[in-house]
Amino acid sequence: MMLHIEDLHVSIGGHEILRGVDLDVGAGEVHAIMGPNGSGKSTLANVLAGRDGYEAGGAVVFQGEDLLSMTPEERAGAGVFLALQHPTEIPGVGNLYFLRTALNSLRRRRGLDEVGVSEFLALAEERMKLLEMDRSFMNRSVNEGFSGGEKKRNETLQMAILEPTLAILDETDSGLDIDALRVVARGINAQRSPERAMIVITHHQRLLDYIVPDHIHVMLGGRIVRSGGKDLALELEANGYGDGSGDLRRTLEAAP
C-alpha cells in the first residue's frame, strides 16, 4: 500500500477538524474525496503535504515511512505533491526559474544530476503543449496576474514536470470554465500511471466526468463516512451529502 492513514486526528488552535480518518491508497489508484465546505478535505491535503500549524495524531505511512515525522521538504523529496486550492502569487520570481529550481532541488535530494536549461526548456514545452499553455507563461512571474484557470493549469504543469509519486489535487476544478476543465483534466489523466497515486478533492461530480476515479469517498464532520464508485458521485449530485434519511449530517455534527 502506497499510503496508509489510520485514525488520523487533526486540530488547529485547539479546534478538532479531522476526527479519525482512515484511508488506504494503492499505487496506480485515483481516489476522489468529496464533501461540503468545512468537512475537512483541505485540512487532510495540507496535513499530508506538511503545512505548519496543525496538531496531528494517528498514523500516516507513505511507502513504509512515517509521513508525519517528515518535514515538508522531505515529503516533497519522497514524491508528495500538493496542487493548491488557492495558488500563491510570487511577484518577481519567473515561472521558468521557479520550476527548474524546484525540479533540480528534488533531483539533488534523490542523488540525480541537475537538468540543464536547454533540457528543461524542451521538457517544459512538451508539458505545456498538453495543457494548451502559451510559451509566454514561462516568462511571467509565478501566478502573478494569472486568471483562475491559468493558475490551475500552472499547478498541473508543476505536477507534470515534477512527476510526483503521490499527487494531491485540492479542488483543481474550482474557478474553471468547462473548456479549461477539460484541458486540465486531460493533463491530469495523461499523468496517471501504475507508479503514481492521486487524491482528487472536489465539491462537484462534474470533475469526475473527466477524471474517473477508482474510488470515491465522502467526508463529513472530519471523517470519511461513505466510500464507493462512480455511482456514489452521481447519487451525491442528485441528493446531496445525506444518507437518504436527511439525518447523516446532523448525526455527525452531534457525535463526540
CATH number at residue 83: 3.40.50.300
CB 182 within 8 A of CB 209: no
For residue 91, give its domain range.
Answer: 3-254
Supply the pLDDT for residue 177. Answer: 86
Supply the pLDDT for residue 176. Answer: 86
Supply the pLDDT for residue 247. Answer: 47
pTM of the predicted protein model: 0.91
Pairing of strands 65-66, 55-62: antiparallel
pLDDT in tens, the chain (256 residues): 999 999 999 999 999 999 999 999 999 999 999 998 889 999 999 999 999 999 999 999 999 999 999 999 999 999 999 998 888 899 999 999 999 999 999 999 989 999 999 999 999 999 999 888 988 888 899 999 888 888 989 999 999 999 999 999 999 888 788 888 999 999 999 999 999 999 999 987 888 999 999 999 999 999 999 999 988 888 888 888 764 444 445 544 444 4
- Domain count across the chain: 1
Supply the pLDDT for residue 90. Answer: 93
Supply the pLDDT for residue 155. Answer: 92
The residue whose grid cell reads 511577484 is 91
- Distance, CA of 90 to CA of 168 (rounded, Å): 21
Supply the pLDDT for residue 173. Answer: 86
- Give residues with Cβ within 8 angstroms of 14, minimum separation 6: none
